[in-house]
Every structure is written in C-alpha cells, then in structure tokens.
Amino acid sequence: MSRPEVAMIDPMGLGREFFEGLMAADRAIVARAAEEPCRDCGGPLHRGDYPRKPRGGLLAVATEGWDRRFSLCCGRDGCRHRATPPSVRFLGRRVYAGAVLILASALALAMISAGAVVRATGVPARTTRRWHRWWRGPFVASAPFVDLSARLVPAPDRRALPASLLERLGGDLASGIAKLLTWLAPLTTASCPDGSRWLRAAM
C-alpha cells in the first residue's frame, strides 16, 4: 500500500456496528470453547472473565466499554486450569484495542510528523513506533504471518506492515481489519494453542 493509499484511509469507517460485530464474535468464540472439556483433566469449563480497560484513542471510543476479556476456568477441584480462547478484540495484553493498533499503525506510515500521528489517532507517537517495531520484528516470525504470506502471493511488503496486509486482504477498511484481526487472533492467547478452529465458526 503506497503512502497516498494509506493517507486515504478513513478512520471514521469503523463505526459502532463494526465494534459490536467484534464483541459478538468474541462471545461466539468463548461459547464454543466452553462446550469442550478442560484439556488437562477433562473437567467442565466455566466462565472466568477478567477485567480489561482498553483504550481506543480517537479511532475507537466505543472500545473503552469493553471491560471484560472473556475467559474460562476448569471447574474441577485440584485443576482450575485457565483456558482463555482467542480474541478479535484484544491483541494479548496490549492496552489499545486490536483494531486501533492496526489502524493507527497503518495511518502512521503515511504521516510526516509524530505530531500528525497523535492528532489523527490519539495514540502517542512512541507507541506507534513501538508497534512498527513489532510488525517488522516479532510479527514477521509468527505463524500467522507465515500462513498469510503463503496465501498472499506475492507476499506483502514487510516494510509497510500492516498497511500492505490490509491492501492485500481486500474489501473495505472494516472488512480488511476484521480479516486481519481473525488472522492475528491465535497470538492473543497461550492457554488455548489450538483455539483457532473456533474462529471459523464465529467470524
């Protein structure tokens, strides 16, 4: 995605309906996960959500109402193993919502000054710089990026991530971000390494 194309991204394209859709997807994922037994002892899994306080910056104020990360806990005494399924709302423990991380990172690629990034996104410039290091470093070594690169021929430009991925995934801005969040979801949990199969049913 070239700089002019990134500059044409309209952050207002992510409306309340988009974020409600992500919430619905996470609800469907945790419901599917709860149907299965604990992978350690075979006991029943019960809801054991924990609090989150995500930031949305100027791009996604609606996400600040996402105060719970859906999770499960084994109900059998002596086990109590936690099983946190993948999420399309959160990217691991990062403070900002996943959609904000993607969109702010893409917008920052097109902006000349750090001040412009902050004015457009509400995200500190040092934060977007840290995200760019992640996109170009740990992310390109991850299984989701390897899988995406194999499907998208030629592979997306690593120097322009995540904008190059959004361009290659196609569709409008909202659908591109939703697709990318789905691909990234396996990175959001370590307690359900095989949880990506629930994503297909939810999205």
State residue 6's pLDDT score.
Answer: 46
The residue ranges of DSSP E strands in the chain, in sequence order, are: 45-47, 50-51, 68-69, 72-74, 82-83
* pLDDT-based confidence at residue 30 (cuts at 50, 70, 90): very high
* Sign of the torsion angle spanned by Cα atoms 200, 66, 70, 86: positive
Contact 15, 41 (CB under 8 A): no
State residue 97's pLDDT score.
Answer: 95
The residue ranking higher by pLDDT, 202 or 153, is 153
199: which residues sit within 8 A by CB, 6+ positions away? 29, 86, 88, 182, 185
148: which residues sit within 8 A by CB, 6+ positions away? 156, 165, 183
* pLDDT-based confidence at residue 155 (cuts at 50, 70, 90): confident
Domain boundaries, the chain: 3-202
pTM value is: 0.88
pLDDT > 60? residue 128: yes
Could you read off the pLDDT of 159-170 as tens digits, one per residue? 999 999 999 998
Could you read off the pLDDT of 50-103 as tens digits, one per residue? 999 999 988 888 888 899 999 999 999 999 999 999 999 999 889 999 999 999
The residue ranking higher by pLDDT, 180 or 111, is 180
